[in-house]
Amino acid sequence: MEELRSFYVSLPTREVKADESFGDPNTGFIISTTEEEARALQSYMMEKLTDDFAQDLKILTPMTMHFDDENGRYDALVDVLDRVYHLGTAQTKAQIQNLGILR
């Protein structure tokens, strides 16, 4: 069985890295997972999240959150956050729960 390690998830760049200096606490999360699962998460983010992701981050703010997203960007973001939540540390889980957008 592969060893669990800490990885840092950057939503704006759609990257998952083991380098602790990589993560931005405002837009990133810490997960504890295997290298294989980290690669799978990054592939999933690249597939699901749009290139103009900076715009998508605005929907994380409750004041600007909107649900009439015809392109499915909101749903894709929620799906990614759900995956990050399940791999996340206790701190990451609390951060995501505080967003109040998981189903």
The phi and psi torsions of 89 (rounded to 5 degrees) equal -75, 175
Distance between CA 72 and CA 52 in Å, rounded? Answer: 14
pLDDT digits (tens, 9 = 90+) for 37-48: 999 999 999 988
Number of domains forming the structure of the chain: 1
Alpha carbon 11 to its chain's center: 5
| Residue ranges making up the domain that contains 45 | 5-99
Please answer whether residues 49 and 56 qualify as being in contact, where contact means their C-beta atoms are separated by less than 8 angstroms: yes
**12-16, 61-65, 90-94, 96-100, range with the lowest pLDDT:** 61-65
Q: What tokens were used for 70? A: 């015809």
Please answer whether residues 46 and 73 qualify as being in contact, where contact means their C-beta atoms are separated by less than 8 angstroms: no
pLDDT digits (tens, 9 = 90+) for 33-90: 999 999 999 999 998 887 666 555 555 555 444 555 555 777 888 899 999 999 999 9
